[in-house]
Structure 1
């Protein structure tokens, strides 16, 4: 009796002890061919296009989300963690992997919102490029970090045209130019309120993921000149992982017939303007979210395949994609009753 009493007391104490983990689980699923709810509670098309001919769609092209249970202010109890550990649709992660040390909740939300805006623009550029439109790219300053090298020099919404006389086409090209300078001042030509300015910024050395690099202290967005307006309405969802599904939804809306043959298809993956599909987080939870939403096919980034193998829920068929064209090939095979077995999938090793 004494042993049982002590055990119960210890279990009760553990319920209130803080933990260093959070729980990842499937979040809401959104059909890019369907409707979304605005902040005012109004139902509107998730993707709407003004200035171009659009066509009816059928079935679904679902984007998946992941919810995080817990934060630094309130972590899940040990009982909640134990329960989540035995559920395949949930994952227990160190809190530092989701909420980086030193990053405030406000900063995390701001970065997540910026990633979502950027992914929508990249998806639109990828879709329209696939359809044969010429797209002009612009690199825009989204924010300037306080006390950084660029603080007081660059401003939000500045368009960076060139650095040290070389055109800036994306964040990678600017990063390369800055680091090639070895710490010397970088001469930037920017467009601000319709005027061109020449500004000098001296980068500062910093450590990113264990490696020394030179930074200006800005976050960037890719902006584009599109031939018509594409609006993506999706509230309270952040991050870049919906990019590929946005692109497929735009293509389906702008082309006759059903891109997916009327089937229920889900998927995930970042996308860049050139159509490259990139990795995302929480893919196992997203596969379970796809099943719960009624999808029978799932498009997974090739770079996430190691996390997919051995964890595919029953009833879901997963295809591996590395480019937007790969995803279109899968949808074509589904639509035309093609040979699905001939398409790439995630395999062990």
Structure 2
């Protein structure tokens, strides 16, 4: 009788007592050229667009929380999921609401970067705006977030790196002339005395984080609910390029991929790529675009029959699709 009670007790513990792990597995995949819930994933208003075909699928990782011991064991034994410490994805110092908000913000930021990268790739003009303005910095007395940064000492600021490079030519205490525009107001040029960097670097400190944005007379809207994180950026950029250029960028094929992208088109590595490749293959993808930084991991765990294409920039990604469309083999991992 005692042994029966113990077995029952352990069974109850295994079924109901939570464990400090989450399960990572393949998540949903979405065609960035298509629709979700009757709404285009990417809509461009005010500019001519061209027909597209096939798929350019972004991929995701599912995170299953609130696992019991038996639930976690079952997912792990399936071979389709991996267990990870819960605190990695849900730090104890943050509420679940805060984490969700951060993931949503990262996703929104990835959309903005994807739009800017696509416009830069296609040769459309971009503008540089003030992002975060450091409280008490030289910029704080002049700029507000969203102000357009136009020139430093008469030299045009064409991208965020140009602002950093130009300010970096001067030392703390040096005066500069900063030209900017607030909203629809006329341009203003004001004197600003550079401060010192807290880390002791010899360059002058302005105290503004610059961000690039498209400067175009049309709107791009990305609509995809219940998705977080930054790793869809590359596929969003490719879909925008496809819609704004004649012909089918993917040749009508089913292409999937992943990768964070910055405003200049640089593709960064992401997490969970084995799960993303698994879902892409199951959904019907024939080629998977892999960030260069993930190539070693992807090559060792790619599903059979899934072609890998190594990409480090948006330009390399479009080149890979050009090669595939023409029947060639793109640079691989």
* TM-score grouping bracket, smaller chain normalisation: 0.7 to 0.9
Q: Match of 2:93, SS?
A: coil
SS at match of 1:309: helix
Structure 1 partner of 2:202: none
For 1:332, the equivalent position in structure 2 comes to: 322
Report the CA distance between 1:33 and its aligned residue: 0.8
Alignment of 1:1-349 (within 5 A): 2-3=2-3, 5-37=5-37, 43-70=38-65, 75-141=66-132, 157-159=145-147, 161=149, 169-170=159-160, 193-194=183-184, 222-338=212-328, 340=329, 343-346=330-333
2: CA distance between counterparts of 1:14 and 1:181? 63
Seen in structure 2, the aligned counterparts of structure 1 residues 194 and 327 have a Cα distance that, compared at 3 Å, is same
Q: Separation in 2 of the partners of 1:95 and 1:200? A: 47
Q: Does the 8 Å CA contact 2:124/2:214 hold for their aligned counterparts?
A: no
State the partner residue of 1:209: none
8 A Cα contact 1:22 1:92, kept in partner: yes
Counterparts of 1:239 and 1:286 in 2: how far apart (Å)?
A: 14
Change (3 A) 1:303 1:268: same
Greater Rg over alpha carbons, structure: 2
8 Å contact from structure 2 (residues 281, 303) kept in 1: yes
Deviation of the 1:93 alpha carbon: 1.2
CA deviation string 1:28-73 (max 9, x = no partner): 2111111123xxxxx1221122222211111100011222111xxx
* Shift, 1:242, TM fit: 0.7
CA displacement, residues 15-38 of structure 1 (integer Å, 9 cap, x when unaligned): 33332111122222111111123x
TM-score normalised by the chain length of structure 2 = 0.78
How far off is 1:296 after superposition? 1.4
TM-score, normalization: structure 1? 0.75
- 2:203 aligns with none
Cα separation, 2, equivalents of 1:46 and 1:332: 23
8 Å Cα contact 1:51-1:229 kept in structure 2:
yes
Contact 2:232–2:259 (Cα < 8 Å) also in 1: yes
CA contact (8 A) 1:296 1:315 kept: yes
Runs of 5+ consecutive residues of structure 2 not aligned to the other structure: 200-205
Q: Equivalents in 2 of 1:84, 1:224: separation in Å?
A: 44
- Structure 2 CA distance, aligned partners of 1:219 and 1:4? 65
Give distance in 2, aligned partners of 1:2 and 1:157. 69
| C-alpha separation in 2, matches of 1:100 and 1:172 | 36
Distance 1:188 1:111 in 2: 33
Are 1:57 and 1:252, in contact at CA under 8 Å, matched by a contact in 2? yes
**CA root-mean-square deviation:** 3.8
- CA apart distance, 1:5: 4.7
Q: Distance in 2 between matches of 1:299 and 1:267?
A: 4
State the SS of the aligned residue for 1:117: helix
Task: For residues 186-244 of structure 1, give each alpha carbon's deviation from its aligned partner in whole angstroms, at most 9, with x where no partner exists.
Answer: x99986555679999999989xxxxxxxxx99998653322422221212222211111
